[in-house]
Amino acid sequence: MRTFKFLSLVLVVSLLLSACGGGASKEVKIAILAPLSGPVPTFGVMTRDGALLAIEEWNAKGGVNGMKIVPIVEDSQCTPDPAANAANKVIDQDKVHYIIGEVCSKASIPISDIANGKKVVQISPTSTNPSVTVGTDGKVKDYIFRACFIDPFQGQVGAKFAMEKLGAKTAFIMLDQANDYVKGLAEFFEKSFTEAGGTIVGKETYTSTDTDFSAILAKIAEAKPDVVYLPDYYNIVNLATKQAKEKGITAPFIGGDGWDSSDLDLAAAAGGYFTNHYSPEDTRAEVQNFVKAFGAKYKDDSGNPKVPDALAALAYDATNLMLQAIKDAGADDPTKVKDALTKITFNGVSGKITYDASHNPVKSATILEVTKDGIKFNSVVNP
Amino acid sequence: MQYFKKTPVTDHKPNSRLAWVGQGFLLILAIIVIIILAQNLIRSPSLFAQNVIDGLKLGFVYAMIALGYTMVYGIVKLINFAHGDVFMVGAFVSYYAVTRFSLHTWAKQIFPGMPDWLVILIGSLTVILLSMVVCVLLAVTIERVAYKPLRDAPRIAALITAIGVSFFLEFFGALGFVFSPRFIPYKQPFETMSWYINNGIYPITPGSMPPDGSITFSNIFLIIVIASIFVQLLLQFLVRRTKIGIAMRATAFDKPTARLMGINVDQVISFTFAIGAAFAGLGGVLYAIAYPSIHTQMGILPGLKAFVAAVLGGIGSLPGALVGALIMGQAEALTMGYISTPMRDAIAFTILIVVLLVKPTGIFGEPEKEKA
């Protein structure tokens, strides 16, 4: 028992020392909370790699405000409890003031409650759930931001793209009423499309277990809309676009990032467009430099440069946003950094970012085009 | 035309007063449905015809599955709930045959000079046959392992076992190393083509829209209709004209006596499961070609609807399965077309309830003596 007490005392003292150790003013710690295990480990790896790349680039330029940046990576598993534990660990033990993460909304929400309570600035790169930045009481969490746009915003961009780039005047909406993601996108699409002078010629609902869309498609063939908005996941898109081709429907289908999957049936969905966060084929200098730097640092299993996906791009942007805000604030002070973030204008890989009152970024979206040979970059649409 | 039914003994009449209310309600419902359909038919005949065609496609797929339900019920009085999952396995087998082993082009590799259409025809038939064979083996195994030991047990035990087998197939299939729980885009062994009817039949070319008032259909629609009718005729022939068919009817009629007459009842029952599974496998492949996104729970709803179709037509009756399935297909397509798509399942199962209330034996069914 004695030995145990002694050992635990040694342990506590050593932890305290390690936490206080290292020149406190000479370096700034940034925690990266990513799901390196759990259901989506590939998301976690991409997020971590994107964030580490940003930190490495800043350190190569001499750090931020003369301070060296020290990343602390923790596995938060895309699961609420491990995420909360990881957040407590980095804040209480490692004394970080800045958190990049998590990927999943359900993990980001518990982290955001802890971080906001302890006045630690958090930027989630990819969590789209509105309650990450806005509490259940409807009040914005002062210290919490995100780098991605929230889901319904894609509907707005989709409508704008349909009208401006495709010259659409009429649209038909297909939606799954039971799916909040689909419903959110469809609502915003409808709102933006009608506000800009377009007409919704029809709106039909289905359920997620449906495989036969013939009746809806027969109505579409009759209504002859300029575009069909179908903001669902790839499995529904595969079925609906395939049956639409059989019915000879030529109106292009437009969707959201739910289409973004290697399982998207390219032959069926060819001619369709969807909104997404980013495309590695975007020709802007920010994107091309990022893709080059990422490929130089990370290789895939066969030694080829890795192509960063949207997760890596958003993690890179989130980290850059944080460091830029620290630089703008001029000090390692979370309260000043969060104020700097609300006023920031930042040219990131995923577009030009400013923040609205709910700490959601106002930024451009990328439009991708589905062709028989693959998914191609089409254009960037500003809101 | 009852092959698998016991001779009618007594008709258990429902309470006559209640029956009057039920029939009156049904009559009003039928009138409303007819008025709605007539209005829509007049408003846009081509759209109506389109919905009917789409309903036929569904109906003929359900017919292929419903045969398995109705035959198995006729012989062993078991509602084989695992039947829909055998259908799912059929779809997956064909998927792996096409993507992993390129079985749809084997003829090309052996005879490089063969014309493409013949390669595809032989390849597609091979894929379908393979799926049917695997489904037959699966169904016979299920029958031997799960149902045969329970043949003399109370019927409820076998029914619950069937539900258990169904869940087993769904969730075992969803394991990562089996089929995985994902939605998998199905790779078709042949290209789908479609045509439109508008003063003649013309092919639909990509990028051009058929003119107003056209009715469209695809090659997969034709294949489903032909395959389903072929299967029906084959089964009629089998049951009426062959020795095994006579054995099946005898077994359905009276199992102990059939056994006394020297019929190998176990073999006949296995054979019945095998035929049902073969048709389910065929249905699974065709369904996957028509709706090319497969996952391990894809069999549940078509299976249940085929079951409703079998009940509607009169469970145990072969023509009943076809008629019931076609009615189900129309009910679904017209619900989707004129009410709303999410209502389709509600309508399908409402039909089940109405049939059970008004005519529990179904359209072609005859009342049956309750087992003591």
Q: Which CATH number fits domain A27-149+306-363: 3.30.420.40, 3.30.420.10, 1.20.1300.10, 3.40.50.2300?
A: 3.40.50.2300
B37 touches chain A (CB under 8 A): no
- H or E segment and range at residue A195: helix A180-195
Closest-CA distance of chain A to residue B346, Å: 12
How much is the average pLDDT of B72-88? 92
Domain assignment present for B212: yes
Q: How many domains does chain B have?
A: 1
Domain assignment present for B27: no
Closest-CA distance of chain B to residue A184, Å: 19
Domain assignment present for B12: no
Q: Tell me what pLDDT residue B363 has.
A: 86
Residue A312 pLDDT exceeds 90: yes
Q: Tell me what pLDDT residue A38 has.
A: 78
The residue of chain A nearest to residue B54, with distances taken between CA atoms, is A214
B7-28: pLDDT as tens digits: 444 455 555 666 677 778 888 8
Closest-CA distance of chain B to residue A210, Å: 8
Per-residue CA distances from A307 to A73, A290, A292, B182 (Å): 22, 10, 9, 24
A214 touches chain B (CB under 8 A): yes
B254-299: pLDDT as tens digits: 889 999 999 999 999 999 999 999 999 999 999 999 998 899 999 9
Domain assignment present for B368: no
Domain assignment present for B108: yes
Cis peptide before A102 (omega within 30 of 0): yes
A316-337: pLDDT as tens digits: 999 999 999 999 998 899 999 9
B178-231: pLDDT as tens digits: 888 888 888 888 888 889 988 888 888 877 788 888 889 999 999 999 999 999
Q: State the CB neighbour count (10 A cutoff) for residue A172.
A: 24
Q: Tell me what pLDDT residue A234 has.
A: 87
Lowest mean pLDDT segment, chosen from A252-261, A272-281, B128-137, B184-193? B184-193
Q: Please list the residues that pair with A276 across neighbouring strands.
A: A366
Residue B371 pLDDT exceeds 50: no
A210 touches chain B (CB under 8 A): yes
Q: Tell me what pLDDT residue A90 has.
A: 95
CB-based contact A156:A214 (threshold 8 Å): no
A44-94: pLDDT as tens digits: 999 999 999 999 999 999 999 989 999 999 999 888 999 999 999 999 999
3-state secondary structure (DSSP) of residue A374: strand
Across the interface, do B192 and A222 touch by the CB < 8 Å criterion?
A: no
Q: Tell me the domain boundaries of chain A.
A: 27-149+306-363, 152-276
Q: Tell me what pLDDT residue B357 has.
A: 80
A219 touches chain B (CB under 8 A): yes
B369 touches chain A (CB under 8 A): no
Q: In what order do the strands lie in the sheet with A346-348?
A: A346-348, A351-355, A361-362
Best residue of B291, B332, B334, B340 to probe chain A, by most A CBs closer than 10 Å: B291
Q: Print the domain residue range for B118.
A: 46-358
- Phi and psi (nearest 5°) for A148? -100, 160
Domain assignment present for B240: yes
Pick from B82, B58, B59: nearest CA to B276: B82
When pLDDT is cut at 50, 70 and 90, the band that residue A123 belongs to is very high
Domain assignment present for B138: yes
Let me know if the fold of A27-149+306-363 is the same as that of A152-276. yes
Per-residue CA distances from A253 to A150, A225, A242 (Å): 21, 10, 11
DSSP state, residue B104:
G
Closest-CA distance of chain A to residue B302, Å: 10
Q: May I ask the CATH architecture of the domain A152-276?
A: 3-Layer(aba) Sandwich (3.40)
B128-167: pLDDT as tens digits: 999 999 999 999 999 999 999 998 888 899 999 999 999 9
Domain assignment present for B269: yes
What ipTM was reported for this prediction?
A: 0.81
